[in-house]
Amino acid sequence: MNVVLESVSGAGIKRRAKRQTVMNSLLENRWVKGALVSGPLLILLIGFLAIPLSYIVWGSFEGAKFDFSHYARVFSSETNLNVLFYTLRIGLIVTVVSLAAGYPVAYLLTKLKSRSLSTVSIFLLVPLFTAFLIRTYAWMIILGREGIINNALIWMGVIHEPLTLLNTTFAVVVGMAHVFIPTAIFTMYSSMVRIDHDVARAAQILGAKPVQAFLRVYFPLTLPGIFSAGVLIFISAIGFYITPALLGGPSDTMISQLIVAQMTTLLNFELGYASSIVLLLVTIAILFLASLFIPLEMIWSSSTVALSDEEPRAAARLLKKVKRSIDPLLYAVEASVHFATRPILTRSARWLWAYTILMLVFLTAPLIVVVILSFSSSPFVVFPPPGFSLRWWEKLANATEWHQSFFFSVQLGIAAACVATIIGTMGAFWLVRTKFLFKKALFLFALSPLMVPVVIIATSLYVFEAKLRILGTFGGLVMGHVLLAVPYVIVVMAAALRNFDESLEPAAAVHGARPLQTLRFVTLPILKPALLTAGLLAFLTSFDELLVGIFLLGRQTPTLPIKFWGDIAYQVDPLLSTASTLIVVLVTASIIAVQFIRERHNVRTSNNIAE
């Protein structure tokens, strides 16, 4: 018997060795390796983005009929035009507010050392990765007629009756700015951190006032980062759905809400297609204008473009000429600003710290309110709570519908994160390690799901998966989430690969390691922190997604965002706060764990280098 077992195990080992030999020989061929690595990403983008989009383009003019009357209805209807212009206006306001509020914080982050940077980053990352629905729900509590702001103003005697804050444009702007300020901070920081602060100090040594050194030397160097953040926020804001739907009134309808209503309520699919294409064309026009100022790939991955490598764009050169023509006015403004800010422009940067703390309070306070309300003894949402109670936690522990939605969302998120991390990592290797024509164009194509508003992706996948008869299946839902998550994986892994010491791989090969062994024992262990970060980003992207779920879910168990959405539409009670608190705790724990792993990896790497 032992002889038989040994022969069987020996045969299995030989088969595995033979398969590995075949795979290693294939990987040594540049063309085969490129096809294997790039294939999954190209199949995903062509099969689940390009082809579905072509379906709604074709359907918007009813195919061979070439009936463009639906586009005429979009532009001839006063209501539709008002919605479009309102969307653009809100997008612009939110963009300006987010950039202005986030710039000082991003500037301070460039001055912080590693430990302080990690601490501040956690306070920014927790609201950034907390679900949009939870943050919007928190603002519903804060801005309501019986909300925190109205109760506080009445208690102080400032007003005698509640103000109408909820269901207004003000509420929409505040809620959306709360969502996008962390995005603005990290996008600007990724560009600003590469700027040497000594250039501004050198200007002051040569006689420039602090304001002049900042406005004429440092600030112009940060403009590409500001512009990148602005474009990213604007194209995201004009396709936003959750916050305007919950915080706005009937007059605050945005185009994404209009498309969802046309597709799900009115069942006017052709008009929904036409509205989607109009939004897509607006997005393309914005990106085209942005390309006149900065390389588009810099918007999502600033590390792909060196500050000094790119020639100034035509529009940027035009702006320089305009700037020279208004120099006298600029001198007057600089003198006034210098006089007004001289007391606070000190090397200690206390005002920057004070402002950053206020901004962190603004970003985290809504989440703290939600946590406090989860322990309320009141059957209603009242702040401050009249007493302490665990009744809502007990109710959540017995709420089987919430359990099913939570575990289904976790299952969906893990599946989407695993697939997206594999596809995105392979795609990042292909885009970074391979030399070919149109590399920048293919990098942008890989990030295109971030450029297309989610409502358009959801609409196109709905039509495409219905034709494939996978609509309402778990696999179809996973692929929709994978499509949205893959670009984040590519951005993270591409940045990690550019900082990777490629000499380690030839060194492993010299010592006899085959390609698969080098990948398994050298490359992937070094990239482990980036892989964990990319996987977490993919998971949280899936866990937070609402629109794709609404369109593709079918009769499956509602995901957690859809469960939230349904309950918020009918009732607002502390049970929602309890469920939100649980998610906030999980998100916080995940972020702290990833930060801890990254720091340990960096310390271990630096110790190995020192040895």
Per-residue pLDDT, averaged over 183-198, amounts to 85
Q: Are 561 and 511 in contact (CB under 8 A)?
A: no
Tell me which of 26-35, 64-73, 214-223, 230-239 is least confident: 26-35
User: CB of 380 within 8 A of CB of 509?
Assistant: no
Pick the closest to residue 282 from 546, 92, 99 (CA basis): 92
Contact between 559 and 412 (Cβ < 8 Å): yes
DSSP tag of 65: G
More confident residue, 442 or 320: 442
Q: Is residue 266 scored above 90 in pLDDT?
A: no
For 438, what's the count of Cα atoms within 13 Å in the CB-facing half-sphere?
Answer: 4
Q: Contact, 447 vs 283, CB < 8 A?
A: no
Residue 198 has pLDDT above 80, yes or no: no
CB 583 within 8 A of CB 563: no
Residue 339 has pLDDT above 70, yes or no: no
pTM beyond cutoff 0.85:
no
Does position 603 have pLDDT exceeding 70, yes or no?
no
Of the pLDDT bands very low, low, confident and very high (cuts 50, 70, 90), residue 4 is very low
Residue predicted with more confidence, 69 or 98: 98
Q: What does the angle CA 416 – CA 420 – CA 423 come to, to the nearest 5 degrees?
A: 145
Burial group, residue 556, by CB count within 10 angstroms (0-12, 13-18, 19+)? middle
Most confident region among 195-199, 384-388, 422-426, 511-515 by mean pLDDT:
422-426
pLDDT attached to residue 309 = 45
d(CA 510, CA 364): 52
Place of tokens 């699919």: 269
- Sequence letter at residue 407: F
According to DSSP, residue 312 is labeled P
Backbone angles phi and psi of 118, in degrees to 5: -65, -40
Alpha helix segments (H runs only) across 28-113: 30-45, 51-60, 69-76, 78-109
